[in-house]
Structures are given as C-alpha cells and as structure tokens.
Chain A
Amino acid sequence: DAGVTQSPTHLIKTRGQQVTLRCSPISGHKSVSWYQQVLGQGPQFIFQYYEKEERGRGNFPDRFSARQFPNYSSELNVNALLLGDSALYLCASSLVPGQMEGYTFGSGTRLTVV
C-alpha cells in the first residue's frame, strides 16, 4: 500500500496566482481531510470531504476550495495567493468521517508564495 500520496512535494508561486494541490488516499479510504501547517505551528483543519461532499470546513477564506473525485482522490485549490499562504499542506485519509482508527497523513506539499 502506497499510503496517502500528495503532489507536488514542493512548489513556488507568486502572489496573486492560483495553485492546485492533489491527494490520493489510502486504498479503501473514502474520506479526505486537508490541513495547513504554518512554520512553527500545529496543523490547522481546512476541509473534510466524504463521498464527494464537503463534510466540514475550518476557518479559512473563500479563496480556499476543494473537491473530491469518484475515486476518492481530492484537490485543494487556493486562489489569489498571499504571502501568508506559504505553508505545508497536509492531506489525511480515513475510512469514513469521524473514524480516527487508521487516520493517516501524507507527507505534504510545501507551498512557498513569493
């Protein structure tokens, strides 16, 4: 099992640009969650998706959006990038929402906004 895979591993964007991050969950996992980890802080919840529907949303502006595909993979989109969006973006997958058994994180995508 490849575990939770995220792509790309690193990228650099300019202020005002848009970015798309991708996540493939563990085989059999149907729920995907996204977190933002700013340097020096713990991960902060952004979204959770299950069966292609949004099940939870953290305190993030509308510039952040996500979607889940029929194969349960997910994309996180951030529009109009700000310097403060520079962070490690983590994806986590689980069988279903609320089931923390087997809740597994990916290695993350390091986004730098310049």
Chain B
Amino acid sequence: AQRVTQPEKLLSVFKGAPVELKCNYSYSGSPELFWYVQYSRQRLQLLLRHISRESIKGFTADLNKGETSFHLKKPFAQEEDSAMYYCALSAQYGNKLVFGAGTILRVKS
C-alpha cells in the first residue's frame, strides 16, 4: 500500500531559522515524490519534485530511499513561507497522488 506520513501538524519557527518539514513514505516500488504548498486563500500548487532536483524559493528536498524519507528543508525561513505543506507520492507511471495529512508552517517575526 502507498502511504505518506507527515508527523508534525504544526511547525513554528522564527524568521531566519532553519526549517525542516518531515515526510516519510511507504511504497514497494520506485515512487515519484512531491512537495505541494497551499498559501492562505490560494490553490494547491507544486513546490518541487524529487526528479527535477530543483531548489524553489530556497527549499530543497532529497529523496532517501534507505530511510524512505523526503524531508523539505530551507536554511533561513521567511515570513512569506507560512503556509500548509503537503508531501505526496505518485507510483511509477501512476495516475494518482497520495498525500500526507500536511504540516502547517508558521514563521514568526
């Protein structure tokens, strides 16, 4: 079965502090992993995907197959990063996304 776990419902950090949003997954094959973000009153949008290995808005995420993790990191949090973050996986050549429950990131000034 495909499952995504985000252990933290809420992560609160100060501006300029490092951020790590945790994501663990279970899937027997080779999944594609994503981070989606939802800012207040906006639609769900893709932040990054492990295949592209990009850094978007200063965020990075590395797929660790041994630990089945895909944690989202940013060295210095900014207030505009405050949002709901969802980790998701898609089975190889799959046709659906499996989402975690999400983590609210609050960046305090």
A-side residues, CB < 8 A to B, are: 31, 33, 35, 40-45, 48, 55-56, 58, 90, 92, 97-98, 100, 103, 105-108
> Does the CB pair A103–B46 fall under 8 Å?
yes
Answer whether A42 and B96 are a contact pair too, CB < 8 Å, given A100-B34, A100-B49: no
> Does the CB pair B45–A105 fall under 8 Å?
yes
In the complex, chain A residues whose CB is within 8 Å of the CB of B88: 42
| Cα-based distance from A97 to B93 in the complex (angstroms) | 8
Closest chain-A Cβ to B24's Cβ sits at a distance in Å of 14
Q: Point out which of B4, B88, B93, B99 has the most chain A C-beta atoms below 10 A from its C-beta.
A: B99
Chain B residues with a Cβ closer than 8 Å to the other chain, count: 21
> Does the CB pair A98–B101 fall under 8 Å?
no
In the complex, chain A residues whose CB is within 8 Å of the CB of B83: none
Closest chain-B Cβ to A58's Cβ sits at a distance in Å of 7
> Does the CB pair B95–A48 fall under 8 Å?
yes
> Does the CB pair B100–A42 fall under 8 Å?
yes
In the complex, chain B residues whose CB is within 8 Å of the CB of A35: 97
